């Protein structure tokens, strides 16, 4: 059974957390949501307040060794706040160093740039952070999903079907069609 770690805090893009989480759970994966506190975190959908979810763990208490894949949802506030947390940066580096899949969507790759793991990699992201990613050494392309080794990235909520397909494939789950 695959073990997935999702890291998020307030301001995550609702579909970018819930839909990959649901796809993983539907395939029998064990999914842990880690955040900066144990209080419920609130998502956003289209710039409006969205659904909340209660984290299972603290980012400071989880280790890459215990998981097979890391998922980083977007939303503007979520990765912006997460990239100021040393434990989140360490998690990203630990997953990347171990060669484990890291899947980031929308603004999520901001955390990858902060962790200094995108130099020489090809990825995609929300248009407003693409310059930041280039400055961090990445080659940025405009595609619904990009897989570069263990790194999976997508641009926006509309790309979630392709993102989920590659996310599940990264942990050995393949389906013809994933919503």
User: Looking at the annotation, which residues are catalytic?
Assistant: 106-107
State the Cα–Cα distance between residues 94 and 142, nearest whole angstrom: 27
Q: Are 88 and 55 in contact (CB under 8 A)?
A: no
**Positions of E strands within the chain:** 3-7, 12-13, 30-35, 41-45, 48-53, 57-58, 69-72, 102-105, 122-123, 139-140, 145-148, 151-154
In the structure encoding, which two tokens stand for residue 146, read together? 């990009």
Q: Are 2 and 68 in contact (CB under 8 A)?
A: yes
Taking CA 103 as the corner, what is the angle to CA 97 and CA 108, rounded to the nearest 5 degrees?
100
What pairing do the DSSP bridges indicate for beta strands 48-53 and 41-45? antiparallel
In the structure encoding, which two tokens stand for residue 89, read together? 């940066």
């Amino acid at each position: 059974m695959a073990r997935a770690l999702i890291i998020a805090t307030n301001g995550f893009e609702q579909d970018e957390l819930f839909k990959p989480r649901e796809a993983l759970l539907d395939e029998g994966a064990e999914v842990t949501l880690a955040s900066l506190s144990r209080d419920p975190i609130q998502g956003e959908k289209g710039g409006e307040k969205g659904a909340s979810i209660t984290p299972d763990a603290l980012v400071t208490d989880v280790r890459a060794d215990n998981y097979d894949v890391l998922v980083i949802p977007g939303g503007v506030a979520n990765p912006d706040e997460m990239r100021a947390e040393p434990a989140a940066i360490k998690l990203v580096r630990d997953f990347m160093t171990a060669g484990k899949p890291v899947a980031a969507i929308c603004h999520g790759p901001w955390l990858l740039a902060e962790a200094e793991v995108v130099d020489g990699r090809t990825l995609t992201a929300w248009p407003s952070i693409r310059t930041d990613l280039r400055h961090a050494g990445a080659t940025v392309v405009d595609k619904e999903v990009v897989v570069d080794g263990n790194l999976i990235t997508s641009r926006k909520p509309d790309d979630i079907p392709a993102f989920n397909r590659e996310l599940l494939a990264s942990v050995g789950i393949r389906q013809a069609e994933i919503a």
